[in-house]
Amino acid sequence: MKIILILLFLLPCISNGLTFKDGEAVDNSQSNKTSQNSTNIETLKSENKSFKPFECSKLDTEHLRINNLNNCLIVQELSNKYEVKSQDFDTNTWNSPLLLRYIDIDGEVKILAHTWNNVVEWGQSSNKQPFSHLAIIDIPNLSMIFEKKINQIDSYHYTLPLTARRVDTIDTDNDGNKEIIYLSNKEDGRNRNSSWKDVNYIFDLNDNSLGKFGSSHFSHDLMYTDFNNDGFLEVIDYFYDPGGQIEICDLKNSKCTKAKNSNQFIEIGFNHILPSKDGAIIFGGCPNLGDTSFCWSKINYKNNKISFQKLDSYELKPKPQDEAQFLIWTGDVTKKPGYWVKGSDKKEFKQADRAWMSTTIDFNDDGFMDSIGIEKEVVCKRKDSTKPFNRSGGDCKEEAFLYIFENKDNSNFEKHQIIPTTINDAFRIEKADINKDGTVDLYGFREGYFNPWSVCSRPQLNSIYLNKNNEYFVHASSKLIEENFGLYGCERASSFFEKDEQFYRLFLTTPNEKADVAYIGIENYTGKFLANKTEIVNIKRQDTNNKVNDEKNISEEFLSIVSILNNVNPLNKTGVNSFKPMLKPVYFDSLGINLTGAKLITFEKDYVMYEGLFNYKEIEFSITLCAQYWEEHKFLGNLVGFNYANGFGNIEKLKKYGIGWCGNTIGFVGHWDGDESIKTDTDLFPFLKEMEKNWPKILRNFSILDDSQNKIVKSWK
């Protein structure tokens, strides 16, 4: 711990132009070089550790789920406490990791983990130097570790004089190996009246040195691309200045250029950049539109000069005309745009929230990078209209939506898919080929911030969206997640990688809610996953040959149409008579059944929940259904309530598919957010899609709604 004491002594002396070399402060204020320049290479001292790996099954935790076909090892222990605790329950800085990544440097595996510390009282004004923690674990040979031929793993633990807003690993010096890049500011809980400005940093893993680049400012959005195709990346830092500005730094020659008019094209806040043939395209919120629209603009960068050209936009909701006061996480009270709910006496407010996360991906493999963004709908209620809304204090309810936009020849972007989501992974949408089918999938953790009441009580790796044949995304089933990956304590991050044709999941976890120690583990899921793929193939082959399924009994492996319909619970005459007949029956070709009646359960201004009476041959049974409309997104979703009310014909084995929400009620699922196992284990997915298609016909033949309700429903366009 000597190095930590040394650093804490030196940290207050550091300013823009002072860096570390061999533990001493060096004045490089005249230098604006990146880590590629010897004048600014800083060798930091570290605490070296040796760790004996052990089986994940030996973790001392009640939150443990083991997959027997998976090998799993704990490879590191992390135990950094907050210098100043913001909450009594949060004792470990690694509850909020900013980076967990595998990289390969000259054939050697390195595991990187980064987190920040809190050095001031929450919400207080202070100019104290911040710091953060970096752990680098050397893995000389993965296979030998799992074969238990390596008993000790070496690691290096650094305390860095910075707090990072964004962290990533990229090849900054064109040497074929990645470095860690930090976009920095001093936003670590201190009040806005503090000086939040800082330069940016590059940590070179070849010589464990820390270099600086860029101007001192409040960095916010990290983007990068190679504008001039010279092999060196240009880093884009969208930073807070009145209105927001962009600084582009050419890492080849260390030249940085600012563009003061960038906020006229793209608003600051969780943007990303798409490479194009003649420059790049930046994606984010449209300027001055209250976080209500997406925008795309072309960036031209030549001779260290930047220009912008608007390409396309997409309106999520109308520009708000109202404002409300909110208490934010730093203790400040600030005004937020949105919409007062009529008749609420200013106690209910819909905040116009931004798309908090975004990424880029060529999901359809057409050579053009597509855009992914998350938009939130935030409804806030308060008892006292004289006090500000407290979003973090529980006044607000959030619903998030994953938007996929297809890139049309780098000229315009077309909405391709909207998926309700629970990704809240500290402002990240992660990408990896999780199921190893050759397509890149999306994923993120459920809880981005540490919450002791939820991170241990439920699995966090829940928001996995599988890319199906480069056509669309579907929510991975709980079955796929549970059968392929273990659960090792209260997991706080996951990262997937492949090495030597083996599939690995890297994770960071704590044993319990109040643990002051965290662990990094590596799970090899190759064997389990390949076994599952074989099982699925065999199931489909057997079902095709009619050798497995008994049409009179629901099979454990596959639920065919006939087996499902033969196992519904028929309604008696009294039950049938409780339904109001449809004006005309609505036929569902996917199952060969007719919707003949309906019974209203709940009607709200944005959803209608009802029981549908269906006829199959001589059998009459019910299916719980729901139609929900999200006005801000112009999205009407029709869901099946597998695990609510009577579900699907009261079939017990179908209840597990009801994992989604309708209104405030869980137990439903729609085709856009369906459990992947619905496709692999049942014939029901076409029915989910047909529910969407048949909604206009259902509406025309309803007899359960009054005139005012019909008027509301007909406005759902």
pLDDT tens readout for residues 146-184: 988 888 999 999 999 999 989 999 999 999 999 999 999
CA distances from 579 to 242, 320, 321, 610 (A): 61, 42, 44, 10
Burial class (CB in 10 A: 0-12, 13-18, 19+), 58: exposed
Strands 389-390 and 322-327: what pairing?
parallel
Biggest CA pair distance of the chain:
89
pLDDT tens column, 57-95: 999 999 999 988 899 999 999 999 999 987 778 889 999
With the C-alpha atoms ordered 674, 567, 646, 702, is the resulting torsion angle positive or negative? positive
Q: What is the pLDDT of residue 553?
A: 36
Is the per-residue pLDDT at 451 higher than 80? Answer: no
pLDDT tens column, 95-113: 989 999 999 988 788 999 9
pLDDT band at 20 (very low <50, low <70, confident <90, very high): very low
Please tell me which residue, 419 or 556, carries the higher pLDDT value: 419
> Hey, what are 572's tokens?
């008696």
Q: What is the pLDDT of residue 585?
A: 87
Q: What is the pLDDT of residue 674?
A: 62
Q: Determine contact, residues 380/296, Cβ cutoff 8 Å.
A: no
Q: Determine contact, residues 598/578, Cβ cutoff 8 Å.
A: no
Share the mean pLDDT of the chain: 84
Q: Which amino acid is at 20?
A: F
pLDDT band at 23 (very low <50, low <70, confident <90, very high): very low
pTM of the full predicted structure?
0.71
Q: What is the mean pLDDT of residues 24-34?
A: 34
> Hey, what are 52's tokens?
């004996």
Q: Where are the alpha helices (DSSP H) in 594-703?
A: 676-681, 685-693, 695-700
How many angstroms separate the CA atoms of 657 and 125, rounded? 50
Strands 635-640 and 396-408: what pairing?
unpaired
Q: What is the pLDDT of residue 397?
A: 86
Q: What is the mean pLDDT of residues 452-456?
A: 79
Burial class (CB in 10 A: 0-12, 13-18, 19+), 406: middle
pLDDT band at 557 (very low <50, low <70, confident <90, very high): low
pLDDT tens column, 378-416: 899 999 999 999 987 889 988 888 899 999 999 999 999
Q: Determine contact, residues 427/448, Cβ cutoff 8 Å.
A: yes
> Hey, what are 704's tokens?
């359960």
Element (H, E) at 563: helix 561-565
- Residue pointed to by tokens 């049938």: 576
Is the per-residue pLDDT at 578 higher than 60? Answer: yes
Q: Which amino acid is at 118?
A: N
Q: What is the pLDDT of residue 2?
A: 35
Backbone angles phi, psi at 399, to 5 degrees: -130, 135
Please tell me which residue, 311 or 356, carries the higher pLDDT value: 311
How many angstroms separate the CA atoms of 373 and 400, rounded? 10
pLDDT band at 310 (very low <50, low <70, confident <90, very high): very high
pLDDT tens column, 251-306: 888 889 998 788 889 888 889 999 887 789 999 999 888 788 999 999 988 888 88
Is the per-residue pLDDT at 1 higher than 70? Answer: no
Q: What is the pLDDT of residue 25?
A: 34
Q: Which of 231-245, 257-271, 535-549 has the lowest mean pLDDT?
A: 535-549
The Cβ of residue 539 has, within 10 Å, a number of other Cβ atoms equal to: 18
Q: What is the pLDDT of residue 338?
A: 92
Cα atoms in the Cβ-side hemisphere of radius 13 Å centred on 131:
25
Q: What is the mean pLDDT of residues 529-552?
A: 35
Q: What is the pLDDT of residue 464?
A: 92
The Cβ of residue 683 has, within 10 Å, a number of other Cβ atoms equal to: 19
Q: What is the pLDDT of residue 80?
A: 93
* Nearest one of 155, 203, 156, 163 to 179, comparing CA atoms: 203
Q: What is the pLDDT of residue 528?
A: 62
How many angstroms separate the CA atoms of 389 and 520, rounded? 38
Is the per-residue pLDDT at 545 higher than 50? Answer: no
pLDDT band at 28 (very low <50, low <70, confident <90, very high): very low
Q: What is the pLDDT of residue 389?
A: 95
Q: What is the pLDDT of residue 696?
A: 87
User: With pLDDT > 70 as the criterion, what percentage of the chain qualifies?
Assistant: 89
